[in-house]
Amino acid sequence: MSATSAPTPNDEAPGFDPIALAESMASAAEKSAKLLGEFAARQAQSGKTMFSDELGVGKAFMELASLMLANPARIAESQVQLWQQYMTLWQHSWMRALGAPVAPVAEPSKGDKRFKDAGWQDHMLFDYIKQSYLIAARWLHENVANVEGLDDQTKRKVDFYTRQYIDALAPSNFALTNPEVFRETVSTGGQNLVRGLHNLLDDIERGNGQLKISMTDTKAFELGVNIATTPGKVVFRNDLMELIQYEPTTKKVHERPLLVIPPWINKFYILDLREKNSFLRWAVAEGHTVFVISWVNPNAKLAGKDFEDYLSEGTIAALEAIEQATGAKDVNAVGYCLGGTLLAATLGWLAAKKDKRIASATFMTALVDFTQAGELAVFIDEAQVASLERKMAERGYLEGSEMANTFNMLRANDLIWSFVINNYLMGRDPFPFDLLHWNSDSTRMPAKMHSFYLRNMYMNNALREPGAITLGGVPIDLSKVKAPAYFVSAIEDHISPWKTTYAGPAILGGPARFVLSGSGHIAGMINPPSANKYGYWTNDRLPPTPEAWLDGAKQHEGSWWTDWREWIGGRAGREVAPRVPGKGRLKALGDAPGTYVRVRADGK
């Protein structure tokens, strides 16, 4: 019996079949042995040890331990506090067992989906397990957070990995302590765990010996068929990007084209997932002549490409191509995340040359100042970057899965443990979800570019300092940028914290507007007006601090897209006849979404 023939779920609880169960377990054992042998062979061939501390986690916790042991009175006090909370929980549990109404000692935070099943509240044992975990988790996190004497980077690292440890040990992640999994195990005779084991082994095999958790049914989506379907043509191509021009859908269009610059950490079609939530399709319907950059998924041949190559062969090449395609001398530009950082650098480069080809700039969750760069800063210090550079030097690029794993760790309960429960404990197949399909479609990054980006932006915060960065022989001074700018960020963004992006308008030298969306880094941006979700805040003033801005801001229902529509409308120029892709001086090279976007980092 092969791994692919594992038992499948049934609407009715199946009877216990010991023969089928034994066959499935034997198949799993055979596959496990094969994968373990392959892993051991790879380790021996590479000369790597099983354990290493390239991230400096062990060193950080040794420093933490030494500081904690230096204050034994504080340890004793915290132990007493923990004991008191457990005694209270024990008393409340006995009172509940005797039928008395009692309030919970510890409750999950709002929005914690791990304990939403009714069994966590209705069954006394599972309720006790849940509260016991919450008490220990909060006690541990508070004690780690309150240790004094650690430098900022070590403190961030300890805090982050403590939360990873706490999340990993949640009772929801184990079959015997999760009421939903327990019920499923009883009702299926344990076959959910057997199916889950097969899913686990399949994911290890798919990751070539490393666990690569399946987040969605990848076969449910096809580029150009049910995602990335906005009609258009590739009108320009070079080593780093394809430029897509979209078909007009209005009788007249704005004279000034719109250039959208996505990040190259992920693929551009986050802006064009489905018809109902596609920012690109919506912008076309608003009368814009829309161009988007589709970055290449680089291999070792592009290892030498630098950040300035992304400027010259990316944004600058796109501006030249747009002028050829439409005759327009300038554009309105939109930069998302890292694409916004590149847009800022491009504006500085153009300003030094007194070039006004970008008439206005929109920054979507984009960092210009990296002072407080969010939780990604946990992974960025000299030791970790040097280690990463050594790895990239071996193959010429950063593997897409490595960056994807880093981002997933930032939201481990949503992007790791929820799938462990669904796929491996419940034995279910992942649900088809377009956003998670995009999230799993990772991209590589050239070694030289990524090293430059980490050191100059995250570590040295050089982009905000006049002349600290030189690109293409031009010192970059963002204070000389006079083009009007629109900054939009998300209040729950853990990648580009909004209080840090708020520094952007003050760094640039032109008039600016700042808008704050609800939700996070993705959902806060990909939020069409028709969804009427999340809301947003506006404030016509730009006080010195983000807190003062929010205090004076007005909250609105719906999407920030409507506010941006009003802002960009006054900068889009007069109405002209629609421009059809391929009908100008640039001929069509192929249909959207193009060829570069189809290259997968996993080779599938």
Mean pLDDT check: name the lowest of 47-51, 126-130, 160-164.
47-51
pTM of the model: 0.87
Which phi and psi angles does 551 have, rounded to 5°? -60, -35
Q: Where are the alpha helices (DSSP H) in 240-306?
A: 279-285
Mean pLDDT check: name the lowest of 55-64, 256-265, 388-397, 491-500.
55-64
Tell me: the pLDDT tens digits for 373-423? 888 888 888 888 998 999 899 999 998 888 888 888 888 888 899 999 999
Interatomic CA distance for residues 282 and 276, integer angstroms: 9
DSSP letter string over 369-412?
--TT-GGGGGG-SHHHHHHHHHHHHHHSEE-HHHHHHHHHHHTH
Q: Note the pLDDT of residue 8.
A: 42
**Span 169-191, average pLDDT:** 94
Mean pLDDT check: name the lowest of 104-113, 259-268, 402-411, 508-517.
402-411
Tell me: the pLDDT tens digits for 257-282? 999 999 999 999 999 999 999 999 99
Mean pLDDT check: name the lowest of 123-127, 155-159, 306-310.
155-159
219-252: b (≥16 Cβ within 10 Å) or e: eebebbeebbbbebbbbbbeebbbbbbbbbeeee
Does residue 75 or residue 31 have the better pLDDT? Answer: 75
Omega within 30 of 0 (cis) for the link into 593: yes
Q: Note the pLDDT of residue 604.
A: 58
Q: Which residues are catalytic?
A: 337
- pLDDT band, very low/low/confident/very high, at 12 (cuts 50, 70, 90): very low
Q: Which residues contact 563 (CB under 8 A, 6 or more apart)?
A: 515, 536, 538, 556
**Does the 232-379+444-598 domain belong in CATH 3.40.50.1820?**
yes
- pLDDT band, very low/low/confident/very high, at 2 (cuts 50, 70, 90): very low
Does residue 43 or residue 506 have the better pLDDT? Answer: 506
Residues in a beta bridge with 290:
258
What percentage of the chain exceeds 70 in pLDDT? 91
Does the pLDDT of residue 426 top 80, yes or no? yes
Does the pLDDT of residue 93 top 80, yes or no? yes
DSSP state of 223: B
What percentage of the chain exceeds 90 in pLDDT? 73
Least Cα distance to 592 among 223, 257, 273, 313 occurs for: 223
Choose from 73-87, 205-219, 477-491 the range with maximum mean pLDDT.
Answer: 477-491
Does the pLDDT of residue 4 top 50, yes or no? no
Q: Note the pLDDT of residue 59.
A: 84
Does the pLDDT of residue 6 top 60, yes or no? no
Other C-beta atoms closer than 10 Å to the C-beta of 316 total 18
Question: In the chain, which residues fall in CATH 3.40.50.1820?
Answer: 232-379+444-598
